[in-house]
Amino acid sequence: MKIINFGSINIDHVYSVPHFVQPGETLASHSYQTFAGGKGLNQSVAIARAGAEVLHAGKIGTDGEWLRKDLDKAGVDTSNIEIEDKIPTGHAIIQVLSEGQRENCILLFGGANQSIQSSEIDDVLAQTKSGDIILLQNEINAVSEIIEKSYKKGLRIVLNPAPFDSEIRNLPLDKIDILILNETEGEGLTNHRDPQTIVDDLAKKLPDCTVILTLGEHGVMCRDKTELIKIPAKEVEVVDTTAAGDTFIGYFVAEISQGTELEQALITATQAAAICVTRRGAAVSIPTRAEVTNAI
């Protein structure tokens, strides 16, 4: 079973700051680093580090060749990454706190991620067959079209509706097999804040979907037709939570593609995400399979 991740590729500009910059304020940062990022890229790297095969489809500008090389090095199939001549690669400006970094602030520029054409979607989906997994996030255009076309081909559709915007509510969510979201996205979709109420509400609206709600340091809650599973987060020293969700999703998708049962897949993904938050950066902070196995 093939995994296709149709997703974003970003250059992350990460600034370490004493506090998040306020309206009207000019703030000096303590340090600056550039990393490979984007929810799509991070999730592909996590799938590859977990030991599964993944084909990444997406777009970069001419300034983003190094990101493709990074994906190659991680073992991701990059043959479906197109270069857009006139549009720069997507980027993110990320503020992380110098002390006690439990949160970050992210400003996104979509760039080439937002220039995907219908013909490119058709070319990618022509390489798939029924039963393959397609993974999507909300940092590229045409998510709705990709869901509709993937559904027609009989693919298993995994959606991470992040970052949340009001368009998410208009997606054909009834065609999603697995929805993986955090509390912000859960609230955006249900207008509820309580995790149990969020998963119950989504399970009622989407009876054929497995709903996985990640809860940061509180772990994860998963609900499908037959069961409710709760896995606590590992207690670790947090350095930077960027890409925790992406690490969780990549490991989870890799596990289910290999036939691992739901609860075990959630446990492994939780362990991988716990290692990610102990390190700075996005893709670079995603652990290898050996690191995850040794930590369990």
Catalytic residues: 246
Least Å distance between CB 276 and ligand ATP?
Answer: 7
Least Å distance between CB 287 and ligand RIB?
Answer: 16
- Write each residue from 169 to 188 as x if it is in contact with ligand ATP (CB under 6 A), else as -, in one continuous string: -------------x------
**41 or 273, CB closer to ligand ATP?**
273
d(CA 291, CA 50) in angstroms, rounded, equals: 10
**Residues in touch with ligand RIB (CB under 6 A):** 10, 12, 37-39, 42, 92, 106, 108, 139, 242-243, 245-246, 282
**222 or 243, CB closer to ligand RIB?**
243
92 binds, among ligand RIB, ligand ATP, none (CB under 5 to 8 A by kind): ligand RIB
The residue range among 53-61, 74-82, 215-223, 250-258 that interacts with ligand ATP, by the rule CB under 6 A, is 215-223
* Interface with ligand ATP (CB under 6 A), residue from 273, 283, 286, 292: 273
**141 or 260, CB closer to ligand RIB?**
141
Taking the CA atoms of residue 66, residue 71, residue 74 and residue 76 in that order, the dihedral angle to the nearest 10 degrees is: -150
Q: Point out which residues bind ligand ATP (CB under 6 A).
A: 162, 182, 214-217, 219-220, 233-234, 236, 238, 241-246, 248, 270, 273-274, 277
